[in-house]
Amino acid sequence: MSYIGESFLRLLGKEPARPTKEDIRPEAQEIHFYKKANKVITREHILKLHEVPQKKTWRNRRWLTLLAINLLFVVSYHLDIQLLEGALTASRFMGFHMADLNSSLQVMLAFKEVLINLVIGTSTVLVMWLLLGGRTFCSWVCPYHLLAEWAEKLHLKLVEKKIIKGRTFHRGTRTVLYVVFALLAFVTGYTVFETISPTGILSRALIYGPGVALVWVGLLLLFEIFVSRRAWCRYVCPIGITYGIVGLVSPLRVEYNVVNCAHEGDCRKACLVPHVLDMTIKGRARDVNVPVGADCTRCGICVDLCPTDSLKFVYKWPGK
Amino acid sequence: MTSESEKGGKRRLTPREQKQRREFLRSVVLAGGVVATSLLGFVPVVSSKQLRLRPPGALAEREFLAACIKCGQCEQVCPVEAIHLADLTDGFGVGVPFIDARAQACDFSCDGLQCVLACPTGALSHELDYPHQTRMGFARLARPKACLAVQGKGFKGLARGASFDGKLRYDEIDRWNPLYVRDHPYDLEICDLCVRQCPIQIRIGQCEAGTPPSGDENQCPPRPAIHLEAIEDGSGTVRMKPVVLDGCVGCGVCEMICPAEDGPAIVVDARKTAEEATA
């Protein structure tokens, strides 16, 4: 199956499958075989790799960007400098229209009329995220993502101490909800998803002041701490699918190189969407270099984590 | 029911299958829960008895909720900060702009309807160019007995007290910056604040004086919005009654400025039109 097709199906919820021998390119087969035959990867080897202190380069860059963008909205309004007006759902950057793709979609489906301003705003944002990776929005801009990352840390600690047992859901749930919310917008004529979107709620709370809506965001975080790791982003949020589709053909991706990988799997354990990193499992890489799929939020946690630099950001158009 | 169980021979599920089944059921519950929660947004929309006063140019309520992208750009450009975004208690109306006229009415300080220009989706209709073209609602003398003019009384002092945060544009003092109402004491023989401060009446006055706002004749309202009518009761005291006319756009300035005791004597009914009000 083509890279884009497979990437799309996994975005919708398909579980990665073990590749058959015919699927794997001879160069990659050679590497798999070499690693197996020579027992290159030993416990000592892995321990030695992990002696170096953990990098936080991309995490720091990302948190800084996320905070800067969200604070720019706040500062722009409160100091009246008109640099970035509006909220994450729709805004003007130095007077130029920007509109969140998912919010626009909800409005278009509910309202059934499209104004030129919205077309401009949506196209601008579409092109921007097409160049920058699609779900990059999630980890580099969405304020809920940052709170969820902190909730995730708590959740993992509780699981580690065996105080709670983490629950998983089927990833296809998000796809079903995507269709349901699109239909609800069209049929009811209300932007139903916007009502419970923590992205919109948090963005507005930051800019225009807090309200009762934050209780809902609090409940979501509690659910993620005590019941299911990163549940909103993994199993619910349609914004992720919308930007995921943009990311299908985006040149900004993480790419995997199998040569030096020790296959210890730390990247998959840290990843929000570990199904995109399935090629890091021993013997699964279909090629020497494998691009990571569209569901990847380009957060760079795996890039920071990888002691062999087997995961890296690249900028190349799919198929090139 | 599986076909095996129908035959009577129940096949035991493997642990993996059991796990998948549990995960599937959990997922159904999660999806159902999320959708059910989101649909709770219907409740305030259906059950609210009073419509909110919306910014100038707002489409009919249903279309307005559909078209609004909940970004608050209208709130950001309003010079008197009349526009606020609704909370989750408004259900599907969360993040949708409204005006609390008593606290801060829209006084068209901006002339050019900045909120309409700022709206990226047309939820505030771009077919509107001038204040007098808007129809946010229609004013009504709700408590005539509380009205100072009806009582034949004047008004001296601060219309809304010293701690009121509302602003209005006092053209004769500052053409560009709205000023605090609390900084402007009045001394009136008979209270006519609702007429005196009506943005439509102010524009009519400017046009009659040959100085339309921004020098633009199109800014001139074609019809008056409110005036005082004398009440003839033979008692000898001069008593007047504010009468709302079909030029009223429902901006809410009269409701905001009314100094009557225990709340305004005149209020704006959101979304009401002149035709509905006189019918």
In this complex, is the C-beta atom of B67 within 8 Å of any C-beta atom belonging to chain A?
A: yes
pLDDT at B175 (0 to 100): 83
Length of chain B: 279
The answer to whether A190 touches B40, Cβ cutoff 8 Å, is no
Taking an 8 Å cut-off on Cβ atoms, the answer to whether A169 and B39 are in contact is no
Model confidence at B277: pLDDT above 90:
no
- Minimum Cα–Cα distance from B124: chain A residue: A115
Other CB atoms closer than 10 Å to residue A63's CB: what's the count? 15
Nearest Cα of chain B lies from the Cα of A38 at a distance, in angstroms, of 34
pLDDT at B126 (0 to 100): 86
Report the percent of chain B where pLDDT is more than 90.
Answer: 79
Residues B197-214 pLDDT 10s = 999 999 999 999 999 988
Whole-structure pTM value: 0.93
Query: Which structure tokens are listed for A46?
Result: 């892995």
Model confidence at B50: pLDDT above 90:
no
Residue-averaged pLDDT of chain B:
92
> How does residue B233 score in pLDDT terms, banded at 50, 70 and 90?
confident
Taking an 8 Å cut-off on Cβ atoms, the answer to whether B88 and A231 are in contact is no
Residues B134-159 pLDDT 10s = 999 999 999 999 999 999 999 999 99
Q: How far is CA A30 from CA A278, B20, B217, B256, in A?
A: 19, 35, 83, 80
Query: Which structure tokens are listed for B266?
Result: 């005149």
Report the percent of chain B where pLDDT is more than 70.
Answer: 96
- For residues B139 and B233, the model is more confident at B139
The answer to whether B129 touches B92, Cβ cutoff 8 Å, is no
Indicate the residue of A118, A176, A215 with minimum beta-carbon distance to B120.
Answer: A118
Model confidence at A122: pLDDT above 60:
yes
pLDDT at B91 (0 to 100): 95
Taking an 8 Å cut-off on Cβ atoms, the answer to whether A189 and B66 are in contact is yes
d(CA A212, CA B91): 11
Q: Among A91, A116, A173, which would you mutate to test the B interface (most chain B Cβ atoms within 10 Å of its Cβ)?
A: A173
The answer to whether B168 touches B266, Cβ cutoff 8 Å, is no
Nearest Cα of chain A lies from the Cα of B45 at a distance, in angstroms, of 10
pLDDT at B3 (0 to 100): 47
Minimal CA–CA distance to A137: which of A203, A186, A213? A203
The letter for the amino acid at A305 is L
Between positions 171 and 210 of B, the ones with CB within 8 A of A are none
pLDDT at B117 (0 to 100): 94
The letter for the amino acid at B89 is T
Model confidence at B263: pLDDT above 80:
yes
Taking an 8 Å cut-off on Cβ atoms, the answer to whether B72 and A211 are in contact is no
Within 8 A of B71 by CB-CB distance, chain A residues are 86-87, 89-91
Within 8 A of A105 by CB-CB distance, chain B residues are none
Minimal CA–CA distance to B257: which of B197, B203, B205? B197
Length of chain A: 320
The answer to whether A118 touches B120, Cβ cutoff 8 Å, is yes
> How does residue B4 score in pLDDT terms, banded at 50, 70 and 90?
very low
Within 8 A of A173 by CB-CB distance, chain B residues are 27, 30-31
Q: What are phi and psi of B229, to 5 degrees?
A: -115, 140
Q: What are phi and psi of A139, to 5 degrees?
A: -90, -20
pLDDT at A319 (0 to 100): 65
Size of interface A-B (CB pairs under 8 A): 152
Model confidence at B8: pLDDT above 80:
no
pLDDT at B220 (0 to 100): 94
pLDDT at A127 (0 to 100): 97
pLDDT at A243 (0 to 100): 97
Model confidence at A67: pLDDT above 80:
yes
d(CA B255, CA B253): 5
Between positions 200 and 259 of A, the ones with CB within 8 A of B are 200-201, 204, 207-208, 211-213, 215-216, 231, 235-236
Taking an 8 Å cut-off on Cβ atoms, the answer to whether B71 and A87 are in contact is yes
pLDDT at A53 (0 to 100): 86
ipTM of the prediction: 0.92
Burial of A46 from C-beta contacts in 10 A (0-12 / 13-18 / 19+): middle
- Section A253-276 average pLDDT: 95
Give the β-pairing of B137-141 and B83-85. Answer: unpaired
The answer to whether A223 touches A148, Cβ cutoff 8 Å, is no
Q: What are phi and psi of B244, to 5 degrees?
A: -85, 130
- Section A189-200 average pLDDT: 97
Instruction: Write down the domain spans for chain A.
Output: 3-54+256-315, 58-245
Within 8 A of B123 by CB-CB distance, chain A residues are 111
Query: Which structure tokens are listed for A312?
Result: 């890296």
Indicate the residue of A177, A191, A212 with minimum beta-carbon distance to B87.
Answer: A212
